[in-house]
Protein backbone atom coordinates (compact mmCIF):
# COMPACT_ATOMS: atom_id res chain seq x y z
CA UNK A 1 0.00 0.00 0.00
CA UNK A 2 1.41 3.38 -1.04
CA UNK A 3 1.01 6.23 1.45
CA UNK A 4 1.77 9.94 1.29
CA UNK A 5 3.68 10.18 4.57
CA UNK A 6 7.14 10.95 5.91
CA UNK A 7 8.44 9.09 8.94
CA UNK A 8 5.64 6.71 10.01
CA UNK A 9 6.45 7.46 13.66
CA UNK A 10 5.75 11.15 13.02
CA UNK A 11 2.49 10.56 11.12
CA UNK A 12 0.09 11.69 13.86
CA UNK A 13 2.06 14.77 14.89
CA UNK A 14 2.48 15.87 11.29
CA UNK A 15 -1.16 15.60 10.30
CA UNK A 16 -2.16 17.42 13.51
CA UNK A 17 0.29 20.17 12.55
CA UNK A 18 -1.34 20.30 9.14
CA UNK A 19 -4.81 20.69 10.66
CA UNK A 20 -3.60 23.52 12.89
CA UNK A 21 -1.89 25.33 10.04
CA UNK A 22 -4.97 24.98 7.83
CA UNK A 23 -7.50 26.09 10.47
CA UNK A 24 -5.87 28.61 12.83
CA UNK A 25 -9.15 30.53 13.09
CA UNK A 26 -10.99 27.50 14.47
CA UNK A 27 -8.49 25.52 16.58
CA UNK A 28 -5.62 26.10 18.96
CA UNK A 29 -3.23 24.17 21.20
CA UNK A 30 -3.75 25.25 24.81
CA UNK A 31 -0.31 24.22 26.10
CA UNK A 32 2.83 22.41 25.05
CA UNK A 33 1.21 19.12 23.99
CA UNK A 34 0.12 19.32 20.36
CA UNK A 35 -1.98 16.19 20.81
CA UNK A 36 -4.54 18.40 22.60
CA UNK A 37 -6.70 20.68 20.46
CA UNK A 38 -9.47 23.02 21.61
CA UNK A 39 -11.77 25.44 19.85
CA UNK A 40 -10.15 28.80 19.24
CA UNK A 41 -12.31 30.64 21.80
CA UNK A 42 -11.96 28.05 24.59
CA UNK A 43 -12.74 28.22 27.42
CA UNK A 44 -16.18 29.80 26.98
CA UNK A 45 -17.15 31.32 30.32
CA UNK A 46 -20.34 30.00 31.89
CA UNK A 47 -20.89 27.22 29.33
CA UNK A 48 -20.41 23.47 29.54
CA UNK A 49 -17.28 22.16 27.84
CA UNK A 50 -17.34 18.94 25.84
CA UNK A 51 -14.18 16.84 25.55
CA UNK A 52 -13.87 13.90 23.19
CA UNK A 53 -10.91 11.81 22.12
CA UNK A 54 -9.62 8.51 20.86
CA UNK A 55 -7.16 6.99 18.50
CA UNK A 56 -6.05 8.64 15.29
CA UNK A 57 -6.94 7.22 11.90
CA UNK A 58 -10.64 8.10 11.94
CA UNK A 59 -10.83 11.66 10.61
CA UNK A 60 -13.06 13.52 10.91
CA UNK A 61 -13.48 11.58 14.18
CA UNK A 62 -12.51 12.78 16.67
CA UNK A 63 -10.60 15.97 16.17
CA UNK A 64 -12.69 17.10 13.22
CA UNK A 65 -15.69 17.86 15.43
CA UNK A 66 -14.08 20.50 17.66
CA UNK A 67 -15.70 23.86 17.12
CA UNK A 68 -18.66 26.10 17.88
CA UNK A 69 -21.83 24.08 18.43
CA UNK A 70 -19.88 20.82 18.65
CA UNK A 71 -17.10 19.60 20.96
CA UNK A 72 -14.87 22.02 22.88
CA UNK A 73 -11.68 19.95 22.88
CA UNK A 74 -10.07 16.67 21.94
CA UNK A 75 -7.27 14.46 23.23
CA UNK A 76 -5.49 12.67 20.39
CA UNK A 77 -3.97 9.20 20.62
CA UNK A 78 -1.72 7.31 18.23
CA UNK A 79 -3.34 5.38 15.40
CA UNK A 80 -6.10 3.21 16.89
CA UNK A 81 -4.75 3.92 20.42
CA UNK A 82 -6.23 5.84 23.33
CA UNK A 83 -4.94 9.24 24.40
CA UNK A 84 -3.39 9.32 27.86
CA UNK A 85 -5.32 10.30 30.98
CA UNK A 86 -3.04 13.32 31.35
CA UNK A 87 -3.91 14.51 27.84
CA UNK A 88 -7.62 14.15 28.57
CA UNK A 89 -7.18 16.02 31.86
CA UNK A 90 -5.29 18.88 30.21
CA UNK A 91 -8.01 19.14 27.56
CA UNK A 92 -10.53 19.27 30.40
CA UNK A 93 -8.71 22.13 32.08
CA UNK A 94 -8.43 24.00 28.80
CA UNK A 95 -12.17 23.98 28.04
CA UNK A 96 -13.58 24.38 31.56
CA UNK A 97 -15.52 27.63 31.65
CA UNK A 98 -16.97 27.14 35.10
CA UNK A 99 -20.01 25.04 34.20
CA UNK A 100 -18.39 21.60 34.11
CA UNK A 101 -17.22 19.29 31.34
CA UNK A 102 -18.93 16.44 29.51
CA UNK A 103 -16.79 13.51 28.32
CA UNK A 104 -18.34 12.21 25.10
CA UNK A 105 -16.42 9.45 23.30
CA UNK A 106 -16.68 5.90 21.94
CA UNK A 107 -17.09 2.85 24.14
CA UNK A 108 -13.61 1.29 23.95
CA UNK A 109 -11.72 -0.14 26.91
CA UNK A 110 -8.57 1.97 26.70
CA UNK A 111 -10.52 5.19 26.23
CA UNK A 112 -12.85 4.39 29.14
CA UNK A 113 -9.89 3.67 31.42
CA UNK A 114 -8.05 6.89 30.60
CA UNK A 115 -11.09 9.17 30.60
CA UNK A 116 -12.12 7.76 33.99
CA UNK A 117 -8.64 8.53 35.35
CA UNK A 118 -8.90 12.04 33.92
CA UNK A 119 -12.24 12.50 35.66
CA UNK A 120 -10.54 11.64 38.97
CA UNK A 121 -7.85 14.24 38.26
CA UNK A 122 -10.52 16.81 37.36
CA UNK A 123 -12.34 16.15 40.62
CA UNK A 124 -9.19 17.07 42.53
CA UNK A 125 -9.30 20.44 40.71
CA UNK A 126 -13.01 20.91 41.53
CA UNK A 127 -13.98 20.46 37.87
CA UNK A 128 -17.27 18.60 37.65
CA UNK A 129 -17.49 16.03 34.84
CA UNK A 130 -20.06 13.68 33.38
CA UNK A 131 -19.50 10.83 30.90
CA UNK A 132 -21.65 9.63 27.99
CA UNK A 133 -20.36 6.81 25.80
CA UNK A 134 -21.17 6.43 22.13
CA UNK A 135 -22.45 2.87 21.70
CA UNK A 136 -24.35 2.69 18.45
CA UNK A 137 -22.82 -0.38 16.74
CA UNK A 138 -25.70 -2.86 16.75
CA UNK A 139 -23.51 -5.65 15.34
CA UNK A 140 -21.16 -5.60 18.33
CA UNK A 141 -23.71 -6.68 20.96
CA UNK A 142 -27.39 -7.71 21.00
CA UNK A 143 -29.99 -5.21 22.16
CA UNK A 144 -30.16 -6.63 25.68
CA UNK A 145 -26.45 -5.75 26.04
CA UNK A 146 -26.56 -2.42 24.22
CA UNK A 147 -24.56 -0.67 26.97
CA UNK A 148 -21.59 -2.83 25.89
CA UNK A 149 -21.78 -1.87 22.23
CA UNK A 150 -18.93 -0.13 20.41
CA UNK A 151 -19.19 3.50 19.44
CA UNK A 152 -18.91 4.17 15.72
CA UNK A 153 -20.09 6.80 13.22
CA UNK A 154 -23.40 7.50 14.96
CA UNK A 155 -21.57 9.44 17.68
CA UNK A 156 -21.67 12.33 15.18
CA UNK A 157 -25.33 12.84 16.12
CA UNK A 158 -24.42 13.01 19.81
CA UNK A 159 -21.69 15.58 19.13
CA UNK A 160 -24.13 17.71 17.20
CA UNK A 161 -26.93 17.56 19.76
CA UNK A 162 -24.79 17.92 22.88
CA UNK A 163 -22.81 20.74 21.29
CA UNK A 164 -26.00 22.61 20.47
CA UNK A 165 -27.29 22.12 24.02
CA UNK A 166 -24.06 23.46 25.50
CA UNK A 167 -24.08 26.41 23.09
CA UNK A 168 -27.58 27.48 24.20
CA UNK A 169 -26.48 27.45 27.84
CA UNK A 170 -27.82 24.14 29.19
CA UNK A 171 -26.39 22.87 32.49
CA UNK A 172 -23.95 19.96 32.64
CA UNK A 173 -26.73 17.59 33.68
CA UNK A 174 -28.89 18.78 30.81
CA UNK A 175 -26.14 18.50 28.20
CA UNK A 176 -25.30 14.98 29.41
CA UNK A 177 -28.99 14.05 29.27
CA UNK A 178 -29.24 15.32 25.68
CA UNK A 179 -26.17 13.29 24.66
CA UNK A 180 -27.50 10.16 26.39
CA UNK A 181 -30.92 10.57 24.78
CA UNK A 182 -29.38 10.77 21.30
CA UNK A 183 -27.09 7.79 21.94
CA UNK A 184 -30.11 5.76 23.08
CA UNK A 185 -31.94 6.52 19.84
CA UNK A 186 -29.04 5.91 17.42
CA UNK A 187 -28.17 2.66 15.66
CA UNK A 188 -25.34 1.92 13.20
CA UNK A 189 -24.08 -1.02 11.20
CA UNK A 190 -21.16 -1.12 8.78
CA UNK A 191 -19.60 -3.21 6.05
CA UNK A 192 -15.91 -3.68 5.29
CA UNK A 193 -14.49 -4.46 1.85
CA UNK A 194 -10.74 -4.13 2.44
CA UNK A 195 -8.50 -3.56 5.47
CA UNK A 196 -6.60 -0.56 6.75
CA UNK A 197 -2.82 -0.61 6.38
CA UNK A 198 -1.30 0.71 9.59
CA UNK A 199 1.35 3.41 8.93
CA UNK A 200 3.85 2.19 11.50
CA UNK A 201 3.79 -1.52 10.62
CA UNK A 202 2.66 -1.41 6.97
CA UNK A 203 0.47 -4.41 7.86
CA UNK A 204 -3.28 -4.81 7.31
CA UNK A 205 -5.55 -4.44 10.32
CA UNK A 206 -7.44 -7.61 9.32
CA UNK A 207 -7.55 -10.17 6.51
CA UNK A 208 -10.35 -10.21 3.97
CA UNK A 209 -10.01 -12.21 0.74
CA UNK A 210 -10.60 -10.50 -2.59
CA UNK A 211 -14.24 -10.54 -3.63
CA UNK A 212 -15.56 -10.84 -0.06
CA UNK A 213 -17.26 -8.45 2.34
CA UNK A 214 -17.72 -8.41 6.09
CA UNK A 215 -20.96 -7.16 7.64
CA UNK A 216 -20.73 -5.58 11.07
CA UNK A 217 -17.00 -4.90 11.03
CA UNK A 218 -15.65 -2.39 13.55
CA UNK A 219 -13.68 0.76 12.74
CA UNK A 220 -10.46 -0.91 13.95
CA UNK A 221 -11.12 -4.11 12.02
CA UNK A 222 -13.00 -5.86 14.83
CA UNK A 223 -14.82 -8.97 13.59
CA UNK A 224 -18.31 -8.60 12.18
CA UNK A 225 -21.29 -10.95 12.13
CA UNK A 226 -21.19 -12.19 8.53
CA UNK A 227 -18.49 -12.76 5.93
CA UNK A 228 -19.24 -13.81 2.39
CA UNK A 229 -19.14 -12.89 -1.31
CA UNK A 230 -19.51 -9.19 -2.12
CA UNK A 231 -23.14 -8.28 -2.79
CA UNK A 232 -24.75 -5.41 -4.66
CA UNK A 233 -25.35 -2.05 -3.00
CA UNK A 234 -29.09 -2.78 -2.79
CA UNK A 235 -28.50 -6.17 -1.20
CA UNK A 236 -26.15 -4.65 1.36
CA UNK A 237 -28.71 -1.99 2.29
CA UNK A 238 -31.35 -4.71 2.48
CA UNK A 239 -29.20 -6.42 5.12
CA UNK A 240 -28.33 -3.35 7.17
CA UNK A 241 -31.40 -1.13 7.23
CA UNK A 242 -33.95 -3.66 8.53
CA UNK A 243 -31.61 -4.52 11.40
CA UNK A 244 -31.39 -0.83 12.34
CA UNK A 245 -35.13 -0.31 12.00
CA UNK A 246 -35.81 -3.28 14.25
CA UNK A 247 -33.25 -2.19 16.83
CA UNK A 248 -34.82 1.27 17.12
CA UNK A 249 -38.38 -0.05 16.94
CA UNK A 250 -39.26 2.29 14.07
CA UNK A 251 -42.80 2.24 12.71
CA UNK A 252 -45.00 3.91 10.11
CA UNK A 253 -45.05 7.67 10.74
CA UNK A 254 -41.69 7.88 12.52
CA UNK A 255 -38.95 10.32 11.49
CA UNK A 256 -35.22 9.69 11.28
CA UNK A 257 -31.92 11.28 10.41
CA UNK A 258 -29.80 9.10 8.12
CA UNK A 259 -26.01 9.04 7.96
CA UNK A 260 -24.38 7.07 5.13
CA UNK A 261 -20.71 7.15 6.05
CA UNK A 262 -17.65 6.23 4.02
CA UNK A 263 -14.85 4.36 5.78
CA UNK A 264 -12.01 6.08 3.91
CA UNK A 265 -11.62 4.52 0.46
CA UNK A 266 -15.17 4.29 -0.87
CA UNK A 267 -16.11 6.85 -3.55
CA UNK A 268 -18.86 9.31 -2.72
CA UNK A 269 -20.78 8.11 -5.77
CA UNK A 270 -21.05 4.65 -4.21
CA UNK A 271 -22.30 6.13 -0.94
CA UNK A 272 -25.11 7.82 -2.87
CA UNK A 273 -26.00 4.53 -4.55
CA UNK A 274 -26.27 3.07 -1.05
CA UNK A 275 -28.32 6.05 0.19
CA UNK A 276 -30.72 5.57 -2.72
CA UNK A 277 -31.68 2.13 -1.45
CA UNK A 278 -31.78 3.28 2.19
CA UNK A 279 -34.30 5.93 1.15
CA UNK A 280 -36.42 3.38 -0.75
CA UNK A 281 -36.52 0.93 2.18
CA UNK A 282 -37.51 3.54 4.74
CA UNK A 283 -40.10 5.14 2.47
CA UNK A 284 -41.72 1.75 1.88
CA UNK A 285 -42.10 1.38 5.67
CA UNK A 286 -43.60 4.84 6.11
CA UNK A 287 -40.51 6.23 7.86
CA UNK A 288 -39.73 9.83 6.91
CA UNK A 289 -36.11 10.90 6.41
CA UNK A 290 -36.10 14.38 7.93
CA UNK A 291 -32.34 14.93 7.68
CA UNK A 292 -29.67 13.18 5.65
CA UNK A 293 -25.86 13.16 5.76
CA UNK A 294 -23.77 11.41 3.10
CA UNK A 295 -19.97 11.45 3.14
CA UNK A 296 -17.00 10.62 5.34
CA UNK A 297 -17.89 11.30 8.98
CA UNK A 298 -15.93 8.49 10.70
CA UNK A 299 -13.24 6.69 8.73
CA UNK A 300 -10.63 4.00 9.27
CA UNK A 301 -7.70 5.35 7.25
CA UNK A 302 -8.05 3.72 3.80
CA UNK A 303 -10.51 0.96 4.69
CA UNK A 304 -13.01 0.39 1.89
CA UNK A 305 -16.56 0.12 3.11
CA UNK A 306 -19.43 2.10 4.54
CA UNK A 307 -21.76 2.32 7.47
CA UNK A 308 -25.38 3.37 7.86
CA UNK A 309 -26.62 5.17 10.97
CA UNK A 310 -30.21 6.03 11.90
CA UNK A 311 -31.25 8.48 14.60
CA UNK A 312 -34.92 8.32 15.59
CA UNK A 313 -36.15 11.92 15.72
CA UNK A 314 -38.55 13.94 17.79
CA UNK A 315 -38.94 17.72 17.62
CA UNK A 316 -36.27 18.32 20.28
CA UNK A 317 -33.62 16.16 18.58
CA UNK A 318 -34.39 17.67 15.20
CA UNK A 319 -33.96 21.22 16.54
CA UNK A 320 -30.57 20.30 18.00
CA UNK A 321 -29.42 18.82 14.68
CA UNK A 322 -30.42 22.04 12.93
CA UNK A 323 -28.61 24.37 15.34
CA UNK A 324 -25.61 26.29 13.96
CA UNK A 325 -22.21 24.57 14.18
CA UNK A 326 -18.79 25.05 12.66
CA UNK A 327 -15.62 22.98 12.74
CA UNK A 328 -12.88 22.21 10.19
CA UNK A 329 -14.94 19.30 8.84
CA UNK A 330 -18.56 20.25 9.46
CA UNK A 331 -20.74 23.33 9.14
CA UNK A 332 -24.46 23.77 9.79
CA UNK A 333 -26.38 27.02 9.70
Cite the active site residues: 58, 220
- Rounded distance between C-alpha atoms, residue 176 and residue 166, angstroms: 9
Report yes or no: 111 and 82 within 8 Å, Cβ to Cβ.
Answer: yes
Distance between CA atoms of residues 43 and 285, nearest Å: 45
Q: Cβ distance 215 to 191 under 8 Å? A: yes
Helices 233-248 and 268-284 cross at an angle (nearest 10°) of: 50
- Which of 58, 92, 99, 59 shows the shortest CA–CA distance to 75? 92
* Residue 103 to residue 94: CA distance in whole angstroms: 13
Exposure string over 241-265, b if 16+ CB within 10 A, otherwise e: bebbbebbebeeebbbbbbbbbbbb
- DSSP per-residue letters across 80-139: T-PPPHHHHHHHHHHH--SS-EEEEEE--HHHHHHHHHHHHHHHHTT--EEEEEE--BTT
Edge-first strand order for the sheet with 212-215 is 226-229, 212-215, 186-194, 304-313, 255-262, 288-295
- Say how far apart CA 97 and CA 165 lie, in whole Å: 15
Q: Are strands 27-28 and 49-56 parallel, antiparallel or unpaired?
A: unpaired
- Which residues is 310 bridged to in the sheet? 187, 258
Tell me the three state secondary structure of residue 258: strand
Give the residue from 203, 213, 160 showing the smallest Cα distance to 183: 160
Amino acid sequence: MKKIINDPAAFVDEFVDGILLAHPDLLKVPGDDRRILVRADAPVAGKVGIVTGGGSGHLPLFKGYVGAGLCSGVAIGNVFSSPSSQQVFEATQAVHGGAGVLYLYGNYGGDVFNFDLAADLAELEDIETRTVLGRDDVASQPKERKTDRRGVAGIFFAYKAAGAAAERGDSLEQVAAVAEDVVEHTATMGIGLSPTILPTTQQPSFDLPDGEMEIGIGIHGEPGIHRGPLETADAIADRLVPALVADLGLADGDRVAVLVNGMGATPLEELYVLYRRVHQILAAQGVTIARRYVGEYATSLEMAGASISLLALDDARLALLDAPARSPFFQEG
